[in-house]
Amino acid sequence: MDSFLDNLSSYKEVSGTQRDLPEWLTIDLVSSIEFAKRLPDITKFKDSDKEELIRSSCFTIAIAIQAIESYFEKHRTVVMPDGTDVIQAMKKAGTFINSDYTQMFVTILDPLHREQFTIDELVLTLQLLFYTIAPPDNLSVEGKVQLEKSVKASMQCLMVLLITQDKSNFSARYGALTALNETFITVTHIHKLKMKEAEPFRQKLRDLLIEQCVFDYRPTH
């Protein structure tokens, strides 16, 4: 049986050059997992703890990646790499754009544009976000100890960068980046609720994808 990743390229496309939105989210999820697997300290966790961290954090990282990519492309709403404006696509499909969708695809970009964050700031902020989402109770004793160390190390890296950039503006900048992570967490929660409303099985596919990416697993039959 082919794995979920093996079947990724066979997903239906909207047009000759455009992918459908769930596929883009899947691609961003793969990207977020690969990002996480390269974070400092991740190899210090045993496999079960590593899986728990990635399972808990990577969907939020994927949502953040969507927003950050759109920000660097100077879009005011979330736009997929093929140029698909999510809000416009939803309007064309007859979807009513309520406050949830506005948060998911429009206002999530507001703090990025307002604060003009740099790529260095955002990478270190995502690193901190990754290590602060997972509930410590689900980790092994060794994992809990390492998680605490990784959170402190991530905070220190971000602080050093901000102090080096502008010591006088350190507190405000750190606060803005912390608030940005809270925005990503809030918007991710809305995404999860919408996914469950639309397709209850998609959460299971997400978990399967994470498992395969974490362990580079491919079923043979």
Which residues are 19's β-sheet partners? 13
Does residue 21 register a pLDDT over 70?
no
Alpha helices, H only, the chain: 21-37, 47-72, 86-92, 99-105, 110-115, 119-133, 141-165, 170-198, 202-215
Domain boundaries in the chain?
18-215
The pLDDT value recorded for residue 207 is 59
| Dihedral (Cα; 137, 140, 141, 144), 10-degree rounding | -60
In the DSSP assignment, the letter for residue 7 is T
The pLDDT value recorded for residue 15 is 43
Mean pLDDT (the chain) is 84
Does residue 175 register a pLDDT over 90?
yes
Which residues are 13's β-sheet partners? 19
Mind listing the pLDDT tens digit for each residue in 3-17?
434 443 444 444 444
Q: Which CATH number fits domain 18-215: 1.10.565.10, 3.40.50.2000, 3.40.50.300, 1.10.10.10?
A: 1.10.565.10
Q: Is the pTM of this model over 0.75?
A: yes
User: Residue 2 has which token pair?
Assistant: 């082919």
The pLDDT value recorded for residue 177 is 97
Mind listing the pLDDT tens digit for each residue in 65-90?
999 999 999 999 999 888 889 999 88
Mind listing the pLDDT tens digit for each residue in 117-133?
999 999 999 999 999 99
Reported as a pLDDT band with limits 50, 70 and 90, residue 195 is confident
How many angstroms separate the CA atoms of 14 and 36, rounded?
30
Reported as a pLDDT band with limits 50, 70 and 90, residue 209 is low
The pLDDT value recorded for residue 160 is 97
Lowest mean pLDDT among 45-49, 173-177, 206-210: 206-210
Does residue 1 register a pLDDT over 50?
no
Mind listing the pLDDT tens digit for each residue in 38-55?
998 999 999 999 989 988
| Spatial CA neighbour of 33 closest among 12, 13, 56, 6 | 56
